[in-house]
């Protein structure tokens, strides 16, 4: 075969970057799995300080959850726009995704500072340690995602995000959706399923 063909030959016909990225996502399952497992086995073991039902704000977190879910929709629409070469809507949807991600981070920042004011710090008790580490790791991932999306947005404005670059956006999308999916698990397992007594309605 010619060199050009040899240089791009693959045994599966699939893009190497996509294979590598799915492998990375698999690895992240174990990262977040360990964090979640620790949170769960330590639930209810704090000897002092605020606990889940005293401090978690379900209505507020429901809104931030909705925000993240919506951002996944924006992301998927952004990819579709890039794939069909729609420069305007690619930029709209990418910006929307990044904005919603930033808003999610805003909610997290508010929640964290509010908790500290209410007496739940990083080192206050086991709940503080496990909660802030787990959600902090997740928030850190969201932050990286927002930076990534903004980078793609800038590239788009530079005219360098045509359909031939769709794989870059697809991979950013995989990252973004995975971060959303981790939040789905965290929202359920940390906020909704609490082992300490639940509020009577």
- Binding to another protein (CB under 8 A) within 72-111 occurs at 72-73, 75-77, 80, 83
Q: Which two tokens stand for residue 168?
A: 């870059």
CA 95/CA 75 separation, integer angstroms:
9
Does 157 contact another protein by CB under 8 A?
no
Q: Integer distance in angstroms from the first to the last C-alpha of the chain?
A: 71
Largest CA distance in the chain: 72
Region of 28-36, 97-105, 106-114 interacting with another protein (CB under 8 A): 28-36
Region of 16-24, 94-102, 104-112 interacting with another protein (CB under 8 A): 16-24
Size of the site for another protein (CB under 8 A): 82
- Closer residue to another protein in complex, CB, 58/95: 58
Q: Which of 197, 38, 50 is nearest to 125 (CA)?
A: 50
8 A C-beta contact, residue 18 and residue 170: yes
Q: How far is the CB of 154 from another protein (least distance, A)?
A: 11
CA 15/CA 12 separation, integer angstroms:
8
Among 66, 85, 114, 118, binds another protein (CB under 8 A): 66
CA 12/CA 18 separation, integer angstroms:
12
Does 181 contact another protein by CB under 8 A?
yes
Residue with tokens 């997290």: 108
Q: Which of 26, 8, 42, 17 is nearest to 190 (CA)?
A: 42
- Closer residue to another protein in complex, CB, 10/117: 10
Region of 95-103, 104-112, 192-200 interacting with another protein (CB under 8 A): 192-200
Q: How far is the CB of 110 from another protein (least distance, A)?
A: 19
Does 30 contact another protein by CB under 8 A?
yes
Cα 52 versus chain centre, distance: 22
8 A C-beta contact, residue 152 and residue 82: no
Q: How far is the CB of 124 from another protein (least distance, A)?
A: 9
Q: How far is the CB of 114 from another protein (least distance, A)?
A: 19
Does 184 contact another protein by CB under 8 A?
yes
Does 159 contact another protein by CB under 8 A?
no
């Amino acid at each position: 075969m010619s060199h050009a063909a040899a240089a791009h030959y693959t045994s599966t016909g699939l893009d190497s970057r996509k294979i590598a990225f799915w492998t990375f996502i698999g690895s992240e399952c174990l990262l977040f799995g360990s964090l979640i497992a620790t949170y769960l086995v330590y639930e209810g073991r704090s000897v002092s300080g605020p606990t889940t039902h005293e401090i978690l704000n379900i209505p507020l977190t429901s809104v931030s959850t909705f925000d993240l879910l919506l951002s996944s929709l924006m992301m998927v629409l952004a990819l579709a726009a890039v794939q069909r070469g729609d420069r305007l809507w690619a930029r709209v949807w990418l910006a929307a995704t990044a904005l919603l991600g930033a808003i999610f981070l805003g909610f997290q920042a508010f929640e964290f500072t509010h908790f500290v004011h209410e007496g739940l710090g990083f080192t206050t008790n086991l709940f503080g340690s496990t909660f802030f580490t787990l959600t902090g790791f997740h928030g850190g991932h969201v932050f990286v995602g927002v930076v990534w999306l903004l980078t793609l947005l800038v590239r788009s404005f530079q005219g360098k995000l045509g359909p031939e670059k769709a794989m870059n956006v697809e991979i950013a999308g995989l990252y973004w959706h995975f971060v959303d999916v981790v939040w789905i698990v965290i929202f359920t397992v940390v906020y909704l399923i609490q082992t300490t007594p639940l509020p009577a309605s």
